[in-house]
Amino acid sequence: MMDDEILAEAPSTSAKCCKSKQAVSPSAVSGPPVVQSPPAQTPHLDPATDPTAYVKQVDGGFELHLIVDNLTCPGCVPKIEDALAVVPGIGTARVNLSLGRLKVTWSDPAFDPRVVGETLTRIGYRTIPYNAAVLDRLTDDQDRRLLRALAVAGFAAANIMLLSVSVWSGNVTDMGPATRTLFHWISALIALPTVVYSGQPFYRSAWSALRAGRLNMDVPISLAVLLATSASVMESVLSGRYAYFDAAVGLLFFLLIGRYLDHRMRARATSVGSNLLALKAVAATVITPDGRRTALPADQLRLGMIVAVVPGDRIPADGTVARGRSDVDASLITGESTPVAVAPGDTVYAGTLCLSGPLEITVDRADRNTLLAQIVALMENAGQAKARYTRLADRMARIYAPTVHVLAASTFVGWLIFDSGGWHPALMNAIAVLIITCPCALGLAVPMVQAVATGRLLRSGVLVKSGDALERLSEIDTVVLDKTGTLTLGRPELVNRDDLAAEDMALASCIAQGTRHPLAQALVRAVPPAGPAPDMREEPGLGLAASIDGAEVRLGNRAWCGVAIDPESDAVDSELWLKRPNAAPVQFRFRDRLRPDAAAAVNAFRARGLAVEMLSGDRIPVVTAMAKELGITEFTAAARPQHKVARLQTLAARGRKVLMIGDGLNDAPALASAYVSISPALASDISQIAADLIFRGERLGSVVEAIDTARRARARIFENFGMSLVYNVLAVPIAVAGWVTPLIAALAMSGSSIAVTLNALRLARRGPERAP
């Protein structure tokens, strides 16, 4: 059972204010979710009745993550979700069997989150708000309980088996009834306390379910163990020839082996997020205003504090380098193994490793608001969503409980009527049916694969934000690429600075602050703004319009600034134009570099049977030159956002399943129109991009790996479904026919779950395996 006392972490929250008015796109406004910090006095909070302190405010409403104590089988998933679906005010309720977590969302601020815990308590589940430290402690406690129960059951099974071998031998030789009965009672003395103690993991879950008027997987397991034990006691009292203490204890032993291994492998499959959070610094060295240095827990850092980091230490918070230079291992964030050189003014992130020189860093974000925490949250949220295959498995698991009990009862009655052996074989065969029909393998078929696949991609620098993204990614047949920031690095450089007037550069830079477009950001980098951004509006695909001294000043493309398009021009530089009233337009020219593996990635897409196309808003000469360099024959230039959407809709109408790879900040309409979408991202943009997946770093090879992983994940899911189907088609009739003992049934049931999990873990291997 879970501990009642939860030590809640109090995250630091902060907000930055901008005195100037600035219009930006909605996607650029959305930042990390605001976490409602727990109150200071929470050690004795009863989370089952008051989880309010753990509610997070997100875009469109509120969400609450809970740990479900006795979430033991696939049948629990639909029961919890169905119970919460009818609660007024709840928007969605999603259970992740692999993580043992429940995510609940709602939009009404007046909704009382305590209703969630009360509802689940009524149907036999105990919940506490999600807390990583508490979850780790509970996982360790459960492991220890299972190991203790397993050790007791194993010791008892070995001793009872020795006695049983003597009885079996005596039944065919000259053992007398008194000796046989004595051996039965010795076995009972060993078996009865063992059944009571080692069966507790199953009994508690089964009792909670029955008390709430429902059935779960542990009900038939408990019933089978207790029936075998009761029948054995009765035989011992009546001095009968057969007792089944060995079956009852052996059944528990093998079931506990299966449950422990399943529990450990689930933890391994879902450990990536926890391992990432384990990389964060535990303590920080804070430099006080008077110059003193003092140690402080990392979760107590606040905005504006100065922290000192020495080589070999992990950076404790997101922040800006105030003093010092160093190389930083940022592979945790970028997916790139090459260290990054940082200097004053550069941004660094929690969990990255300082390598060569001491740094002093001004804290911008700490604790659960850091980028590292956001990455882990994104991965876990993806695991909460329901893919199509998961929904199918859940529907199949719904019919398990009534079916297995009817089937077991029918087996008992059938053998009792049509077999002359009496109630002994009928009971043993019914017990075998109760055990062997458990749908654990079916319930784990999808979530295990999803957990392993998302963990592998996270280590490769790819974040999965949508729960069914991998499923859709595995089905694509066309790749559509944006140019700027996708095929290129998205870091263009101003190349005609010497030809520009200082006044023009200052004005353009001031306006460029109002957008995240790569060319505008390049201008800001080249010419830092001298003042705040003016009032302005942004026209997607065109540019910005700012109001300065009552006059409109535009910064954007040729059409936006009234510059005629020169059909004879073959210039390949990207450009921005500045247009002021009564003044000639001013051209700013930029040059960007292709990603180092852009050509290799395009070839890899084709090698996998994918059609490749480029959609860009840049000028025809620029796009044509790049398409020729990359060998892309299908391309469109000067495409505005609506044109990109129209093209994607045309492809969809032809039955194509399109992967759109584009800038998540500027291509949001196109990304939303695609079958599945991936965006490149700088670390600071991760929480703002609405694509299904995000890849970090400079290489497009991670997108190729994402496609391969998605295809392999799909194959593993089908393999798991196939194994589950074959298992049930073969095992159930054999059990009904009486060819399987309860012990063999326990081995088969546990083995099927372990086989499915091991098959999913194959995805974690890094080898030359090609996607099917």
* DSSP H or E stretch at residue 589: strand 586-591
**Are 460 and 274 spatial neighbours (Cβ–Cβ below 8 Å)?**
no
Rg (CA), the chain: 32
Question: Rounded to whole angstroms, how far apart are CA atoms 185 and 198?
Answer: 19
Signed CA dihedral, 477, 482, 486, 487: sign only: positive
- Describe the crossing of helices 388-398 and 400-418 by its angle, rounded to 10 degrees: 40
- Describe the crossing of helices 245-269 and 132-171 by its angle, rounded to 10 degrees: 150
- What phi and psi values does residue 173 have, to the nearest 5 degrees? -120, -125
Give the strand pairing for 359-365 and 693-695. unpaired
**Are 483 and 713 spatial neighbours (Cβ–Cβ below 8 Å)?**
no
One-character DSSP codes across 476-539: --EEEE-IIIIIB-S--EE--GGGS-HHHHHHHHHHHTT---HHHHHHHHHS--SS---SEEEE
DSSP 216: -
Question: Rounded to whole angstroms, how far apart are CA atoms 435 and 220?
Answer: 7
Give the strand pairing for 293-297 and 353-354. unpaired
- What phi and psi values does residue 368 have, to the nearest 5 degrees? -75, 0
Token pair recorded at residue 425: 């074989």
Question: Rounded to whole angstroms, how far apart are CA atoms 702 and 746?
Answer: 42
One-character DSSP codes across 619-643: -HHHHHHHHHHHT--EEE-S--HHH
Task: Identify residue 625 by its one-letter amino acid code.
Answer: A
Signed CA dihedral, 484, 335, 63, 90: sign only: positive
Give whole-number Cα distances, 357 to 157, 330, 345, in Å: 60, 15, 16
Candidate list 482, 618, 692, 708, residue with the active-site label: 482
Strands (E), 133-282: none
Task: Identify residue 195 by its one-letter amino acid code.
Answer: V
With tokens 């039965």, the residue in question is: 184
Question: Rounded to whole angstroms, how far apart are CA atoms 762 and 449?
Answer: 9
**4 counts as catalytic:** no
Give whole-number Cα distances, 291 to 285, 288, 308, 325, in Å: 12, 5, 11, 20
Using DSSP, state whether 454 is helix, strand or coil.
helix
Which burial class, exposed, middle or buried, applies to 503 when counting CB atoms under 10 A from its CB (0-12, 13-18, 19+)? exposed
Closest CA to 481 of 678, 703, 662: 662
Signed CA dihedral, 426, 427, 428, 433: sign only: positive
Signed CA dihedral, 314, 315, 316, 317: sign only: negative
Q: Which residues are catalytic?
A: 482
